[in-house]
Amino acid sequence: MSDSSAQALDSDAVSAMFSAIESFVNDSFSGEQGDRLTDLKVGERNVWVGHGPKLMLACVIFGDAPESLKADLRETLDQIRVAYASELNQANAGELLLADVDNYLHPILQSEAKESESEGKRSKSMILLGLVLIGLLGYGLFHSVSKRMTFDSLQSVLESTPGMLVTEIRQEDDQYFISGLRDPQTELPINLLSNIGIDEQQLEIVMRPFLSLEPEIEVRRFVKQLSPPEGVQVVYQDSKVKLLGVGFINLGRKVF
C-alpha cells in the first residue's frame, strides 16, 4: 500500500528491498517474543521494520521521517494483532490480513501528509510515507522463517538435553514427530519447549530406552538407586560417581 502521490519504485528497487528485509529476518530475528523495530538501509532509502509475534510491518521511507512515526508503527502493529488475533492463527493469515488492513495503515499516511504540509515540505519528503508501506511484508515470508526458527530451536533444545539422543525430527503442519534414544532418568524439557512456543500436545515422541553415560544422568541414576540419607551427596568427580558427607542409615532394627 502507498500514498497516491508517492513516486513509483522500479522492480529492481522493490526486489532489493524485499531481499534486504528477508536477509534481515533470516540473520537477525532471534525468535524473541517481544516487539522490535529495526532500521535498515537499502541503497539511498531507509526501511523501518516493525515486528513481533506472528506479524511484521515494513515501511520504505522517501526523505526524512519523524521519530514519532516509529511509535505509530508499533501502535498500528498492536492494533492489527488485537483485531485479527484469531485470523493470525490460520494458515492463510497473510491473505486475510493483506486484504483487510487498509483502515489501519491509511491513518499513518494521512497524519504524515498533514505534518509535511504544515512544515512546508512537499511529497518527496513526507511522501516519504509515500511510503510504500510494504504492508505486512509478506506475512508468508515471516511465517515461513518463524516456523523454521521454531524447528531449529526445538532441535537445539532436544539435542542439548542430557540423556537424550535425537535421530530424527519431522514436522507436519504444527505437529512434530521425534524419534531417537532416551535414558529413563531423562525428562522432556517442557519449560524450555514452552519458551519457544511449542506445546507438549504438538509432539509425538517415539524413543527407545538406553543408558546414558553423561555425568548428570549417572548422578540421577545413583540417587534413585541408593536413596542416600540426609547429609550425603552424590557427585561426579574425577570421572567417577562419589558419595560425599556423613549420614545415618535407618536399618529398621528395634532395641528390646
Task: Say if pTM beats, i.e. exceeds, 0.75.
Answer: no
Task: Confirm whether 256 is domain-assigned.
Answer: no
205 and 101, same domain (yes or no): no
Residue 235: pLDDT over 80: yes
51 and 83, same domain (yes or no): yes
Pick the last residue of a domain from 92, 109, 139.
139
For the residues of 214-249, what is the DSSP string, one character each? Answer: -HHHHHHHHHHHH-PPTTEEEEEETTEEEEEE----
**H or E element that contains 165:** strand 164-172
- Arithmetic mean of pLDDT over the chain: 70
Task: Confirm whether 223 is domain-assigned.
Answer: yes
188 and 98, same domain (yes or no): no
46 and 132, same domain (yes or no): yes
Task: Confirm whether 35 is domain-assigned.
Answer: yes
**Per-residue pLDDT band at 145 (split at 50, 70, 90):** low
Q: Supply the pLDDT for residue 4.
A: 43
Q: Supply the pLDDT for residue 210.
A: 92
Q: Supply the pLDDT for residue 183.
A: 93
Length in residues, the chain: 256
Task: Confirm whether 148 is domain-assigned.
Answer: no
Residues 127-148, buried b or exposed e (16+ Cβ, 10 A)? bbbbbbbbbbbbbebbbebbee
**H or E element that contains 83:** helix 68-83
Q: With helix as H, strand as E and coil as C, how does 12-81 read?
A: HHHHHHHHHHHHHHHHHCCCCCCCEEEEEEECCEEEEEEEECCEEEEEEECCCCCCHHHHHHHHHHHHHH
38 and 104, same domain (yes or no): yes
Q: Supply the pLDDT for residue 67.
A: 79
Between 140 and 150, residue with greater pLDDT: 150
**Domain residue limits at 47:** 11-139
Task: Confirm whether 154 is domain-assigned.
Answer: no
Helices (H) and strands (E) in the chain, counts: 8, 9
**Per-residue pLDDT band at 193 (split at 50, 70, 90):** confident
pLDDT digits (tens, 9 = 90+) for 29-84: 444 444 556 676 666 667 777 766 566 777 777 667 777 878 888 888 788 778 87
Number of domain units in the chain: 3
44 and 123, same domain (yes or no): yes
SS3 174: coil
Q: CB-side exposure of 33: number of CA atoms within 13 Å?
A: 5
Residue 239: pLDDT over 80: no
Q: Supply the pLDDT for residue 243.
A: 77
Task: Confirm whether 5 is domain-assigned.
Answer: no
Q: CB-side exposure of 108: number of CA atoms within 13 Å?
A: 33
165 and 234, same domain (yes or no): no
Average pLDDT score over residue span 236-252? 71
* Beta carbons within 10 angstroms of residue 86's beta carbon: 9
19 and 105, same domain (yes or no): yes
pLDDT digits (tens, 9 = 90+) for 175-190: 999 999 999 999 888 8
In terms of Cβ atoms closer than 10 Å to its own Cβ (0-12, 13-18, 19+), residue 33 is exposed
Q: Supply the pLDDT for residue 168.
A: 94
Task: Confirm whether 153 is domain-assigned.
Answer: no
202 and 227, same domain (yes or no): no
pLDDT digits (tens, 9 = 90+) for 75-90: 887 887 788 777 666 6
179 and 130, same domain (yes or no): no
Between 95 and 184, residue with greater pLDDT: 184
59 and 171, same domain (yes or no): no
pLDDT digits (tens, 9 = 90+) for 100-109: 666 777 776 6
104 and 187, same domain (yes or no): no
Task: Confirm whether 146 is domain-assigned.
Answer: no
Residue 252: pLDDT over 60: no
Phi-psi region of 135 (alpha: psi -120 to 50; beta: other; left: phi over 0): beta
Q: Supply the pLDDT for residue 190.
A: 85
